[in-house]
Amino acid sequence: MSKTNQPKEGFKFFESNNFSEDQVKDRSAEFFHEMNSRRSIREFSPREIPEGVLENIVKTASTAPSGAHKQPWFFALITSPEMKKKVREAAEKEEYENYHGRMSDDWLKDLEKFDTNWQKPFLEIAPALIVVFKETYEETESGKAKNYYVNESVGIAAGMLIAAIHHAGLVTLTHTPSPLNFLAELLNRPKNEKPFLLLPVGFPADKTQVPVLKRKNFIQIAKYY
């Protein structure tokens, strides 16, 4: 093999999938179709999540790109009824304040169509809660090391987590009982981690309903230049 066929130091050749144009077209359409059936779900079945699934979806999330490949995320997987109860109680305390004064009238009006309130029984019923943490900096042996584009990185990982949950055939809700700090305390996480999102995960309750919503169409969200 000649030298030019060797990757440079520290690199390897990328293994392209080499799909045909038709395959690329079909795959893009099929994936859109699949993702377009995703909905945020607020009523869960207590049905258990099959073994290995939480690991697979978290590992999928962790394939996300991140600033300087620092992977500034941590996923707390809560499955014990005791911890779920504690999370529910603390979340409901924050949500009670949110719905009774902390959210503006405009905000409450925007939420009317979702028929939500401060009560969050799904936090105990769903078989798993995933708390996504962002690592604002890295704690190394030689001290604090900087992470880059933390919100962007963790936001992308959270999106991939939601896609993986949906692809597996499970449902979730992107839940933000702000302020979220009670989660760091309850789970005893280190100082460099801040809670980012709380996602109940599981199968949907029988006959659960979702609001009739319309997604923006292509010309509302994109333009060719």
Closest distance to ligand IYR from the beta carbon of 194 (Å): 17
- What is the rounded CA–CA span in Å between residue 78 and residue 203? 16
CB of 177 to ligand IYR, least distance (A): 5
Residues that bind ligand IYR (CB under 6 A): 95, 98, 111, 114, 116, 175-177
Would you state the structure tokens that stand for residue 88, as one six-digit string?
């529910």
Question: To the nearest whole angstrom, how small is the minimum distance from the Cβ of residue 120 to ligand IYR?
Answer: 7
Q: What are phi and psi of 179, to 5 degrees?
A: -70, 145
Nearer to ligand IYR by C-beta: 31 or 107?
A: 107
Q: Name which of 177 and 202 has its Cβ closer to ligand IYR.
A: 177
Cα separation, 70 vs 184, in Å, equals 21
Least spacing, CB of residue 176 vs ligand IYR, in Å:
5
Calpha distance 75→9 (Å, rounded): 33
Output phi, psi for 6, to 5 deg: -95, 135
Q: Which residue is nearest to ligand IYR (CB)?
A: 116
Q: Residues 220, 108, 194, 175: is their CA dihedral positive or negative?
A: negative
Question: Would you say 43 or 138 has its CB closer to ligand IYR?
Answer: 43
Q: Which CB sits closer to ligand IYR, 71 or 161?
A: 161
